[in-house]
Amino acid sequence: QQPVQSPQAVILREGEDAVINCSSSKALYSVHWYRQKHGEAPVFLMILLKGGEQKGHEKISASFNEKKQQSSLYLTASQLSYSGTYFCGTSKSDSWGKLQFGAGTQVVVTP
């Protein structure tokens, strides 16, 4: 079952903060975050694992609440380059990279 992302879209001014949430109805093993700019390939941002391990982008932060089966991505002091669509991908186990992706959150950062 696909995770649910919220909000669907957000408009920010440069320097503002935003939070993108990704929720699942099933127990999660890992959460991946990717950003896709229009006409480009999705780019990896971060992976969060059950148990607290993380790996990813130095300037992006995220959290993983195992009890709530939810992950949040924090965009802090946003820059114009943060614009794009953010996707979370979730897996229930460490098997075959089978990620279920959310519908995406469109982020627009304006000057």
Partner 1 sequence: ETGVTQTPRHLVMGMTNKKSLKCEQHLGHNAMYWYKQSAKKPLELMFVYSLEERVENNSVPSRFSPECPNSSHLFLHLHTLQPEDSALYLCASSQGGASSYNEQFFGPGTRLTVL
d(CA 53, CA 55): 7
For tokens 């992976």, what's the residue? 47
Residues 46-65 that bind partner 1 (CB under 8 A): 47, 49, 55-56
For partner 1, the closer CB: 26 or 98: 98
What DSSP string runs through 47-109? EEETTS-EEE-TT-EEEEETTTTEEEEEE-S--GGG-EEEEEEEESSSSTT-PEEP--EEEEE
Q: Is 27 in the site for partner 1 (CB under 8 A)?
A: no
Q: Is 38 in the site for partner 1 (CB under 8 A)?
A: no
Q: Is 97 in the site for partner 1 (CB under 8 A)?
A: yes
Closest CA to 25 of 51, 4, 48: 4
For partner 1, the closer CB: 56 or 61: 56
Name the segment binding partner 1 (CB under 8 A); options: 9-17, 18-26, 33-41, 60-68.
33-41
Q: Is 35 in the site for partner 1 (CB under 8 A)?
A: no
Q: Is 84 in the site for partner 1 (CB under 8 A)?
A: no
Residue 13 CB, nearest distance to partner 1 (Å)? Answer: 26
Dig out the tokens for 51 from the structure: 């148990």
